[in-house]
């Protein structure tokens, strides 16, 4: 059985819990969270979120990419969010990762995408750069409440960069 088949069966058995009749697609807490896709980050208990509270965006690194800005722009301009929280973490796979090597691997398979993998040398510096990019992005009409945290998967602590 594939994961997809397992997942479909699981969802079918839990449809009653999954249904959200009447829940608004507009985030109740008017916040969007951008986080790394890392398996150890469980955003709901970490941030005290419940379904319906927030938009959750995840990518490799929790990086402020063009596509993250696209989604945050839709979140603010169409769905009422006014605040952004970015979560990066210690032990990220992008820490010390080589963009050139990754691009070389892609090119060897005939892929020359416009994006870079986004490796970084210092997670706190990378987070500060991401926050600075958000604060200077006119795609986002609300830029006065943009925050970021670094999560330590070993201790469970969140810290400011």
Q: Residues in the site for Zn ion, rule: CB under 5 A?
A: 36, 38, 92
Handedness of CA 116, 119, 123, 124 (dihedral sign): negative
CB 89 to Zn ion: min, Å: 5
Shorter beta-carbon distance to Zn ion: residue 42 or 109: 42
Alpha helices in the chain (DSSP H): 3-13, 15-18, 43-47, 66-79, 99-108, 123-135
Our CB check for Zn ion shows the closer of 31 and 88 to be: 88
Q: Which helix (H) or strand (E) holds 57?
A: strand 54-59
**Of residues 71 and 73, the one with the C-beta less far from Zn ion:** 71
Smallest distance, Å, CB 66 to Zn ion? 19
- Least separation in angstroms between residue 47's CB and Zn ion is 16
Inter-residue contact 85 to 105 (CB < 8 Å): no
């Amino acid at each position: 059985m594939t994961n997809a088949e397992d997942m479909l069966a699981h969802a079918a058995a839990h449809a009653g819990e999954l249904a959200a009749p009447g829940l608004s697609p507009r985030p109740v807490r008017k916040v969007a969270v951008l986080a790394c896709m890392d398996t150890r980050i469980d955003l709901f208990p970490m941030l005290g979120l419940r379904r319906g509270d927030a938009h959750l965006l995840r990518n490799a690194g929790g990086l402020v990419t063009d596509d993250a800005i696209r989604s945050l722009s839709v979140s603010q301009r169409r769905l009422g969010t006014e605040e952004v929280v970015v979560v990066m973490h210690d032990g990220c796979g992008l820490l010390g990762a080589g963009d050139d090597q990754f691009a070389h691997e892609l090119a060897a398979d005939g892929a020359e995408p416009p994006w870079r993998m986004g490796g970084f040398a210092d997670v706190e510096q990378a987070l500060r750069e991401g926050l600075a990019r958000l604060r200077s992005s006119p795609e986002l009409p609300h830029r006065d409440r943009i925050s970021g945290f670094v999560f330590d998967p070993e201790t469970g602590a969140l810290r400011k960069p």
